[in-house]
Amino acid sequence: MHDLKLSVSEVNQIYKELNSVSGFDFSNYAFSFKMRKIILLMHSLKILNIEDFIFRLQNSQHTVSEFVKSMFVSYSEMFRDAEMWNYLQEKIFSKLLLKKEVKIHIPYCVTGEELYSLMFFSGLYKSTHISILVSHPLSENEELIKNRIFTQKDLKACQKNIEILDFVKNTEDVFAGHTNQMRVNHIYRGELNFEYCNVLNQQHIAEFDLVLFRNRIIYYNDDLQTEVLRKISGSMNKGGLLIIGEKETLGQMSGKYKNLKSNLSVYKKRIF
H helix and E strand count, the chain: 11, 9
Q: Which of 232, 231, 271, 265 has its CA nearest to residue 248?
A: 265
State the average pLDDT for the chain. 93
What integer pLDDT is reported at residue 4 of this predicted model?
A: 79
Reduced to 3 states (helix: H, G, I; strand: E, B; else coil), residue 72 is: coil
Mean of pLDDT values over 212-241: 94
Long-range residue pairs from 196-201, CB within 8 A, at least 24 positions apart, any chain? 196/135, 196/136, 196/137, 196/138, 196/139, 196/141, 196/142, 197/135, 197/137, 198/137, 199/107, 199/108, 199/135, 199/228, 199/231, 199/232, 200/227, 200/228, 200/231
d(CA 63, CA 61): 5
pLDDT confidence of residue 178: 87
pTM over 0.85, yes/no: yes
Asked if 182 and 173 count as a contact pair (C-beta separation under 8 A), the reply is no
C-alpha–C-alpha distance, residues 110 and 69, integer Å: 9
Closest CA to 73 of 114, 30, 108: 108
Nearby residues of 258 by Cβ (< 8 Å), 6 or more positions away? 267, 268, 270
With a cut of 60, say whether residue 195 has pLDDT above it: yes
Residue 190: the pLDDT is 95
pLDDT at 1: 47
Report which DSSP code applies to 214.
-
Taken in order 103, 241, 70, 18, the sign of the CA dihedral is positive
Task: Supply the pLDDT for residue 271.
Answer: 84
- Options 3.40.50.150, 2.40.128.720, 3.30.1490.20, 3.40.50.300; CATH for 82-269 is 3.40.50.150
The answer to whether 221 and 29 are in contact (CB under 8 A) is yes
- Alpha carbons within 13 angstroms on the beta-carbon side of residue 135 total 20
Q: Give the domain ranges of the chain.
A: 8-71, 82-269
Closest CA to 27 of 211, 196, 227: 227
pLDDT digits (tens, 9 = 90+) for 243-254: 999 999 999 999
Residue 180, pLDDT above cutoff 70: yes
Condensed to tens digits (0 to 9), the pLDDT of residues 96-148 reads 999 999 999 999 999 999 999 999 999 999 999 999 999 998 989 999 999 99
Rounded to whole angstroms, the Cα distance separating 36 from 2 reads: 9
When pLDDT is averaged across residues 201-223 and rounded to a whole number, the result is: 90
Alpha-carbon torsion (56, 62, 63, 65), positive or negative: positive
For the segment 196-209, the average pLDDT, to the nearest whole number, is 83
**β-bridge partners, 105:** 133, 211
C-alpha to C-alpha distance for 264 and 182, rounded to whole angstroms: 29
Give the largest Cα separation in the chain, rounded. 59
Q: In sequence order, which ranges of 199-260 are alpha helices (DSSP H)?
A: 222-234
pLDDT tens digits for range 38-94: 999 999 999 989 999 999 999 999 999 999 999 998 888 999 999 999 999 999 999
* Position 197, amino acid: C
Query: Average pLDDT, stretch 157-175?
Result: 95
Comparing 56-60, 102-106, 153-157, 195-199, the range with the smallest average pLDDT is: 195-199
Please give the pLDDT value at position 2.
54
pLDDT digits (tens, 9 = 90+) for 3-23: 678 899 999 999 999 999 999
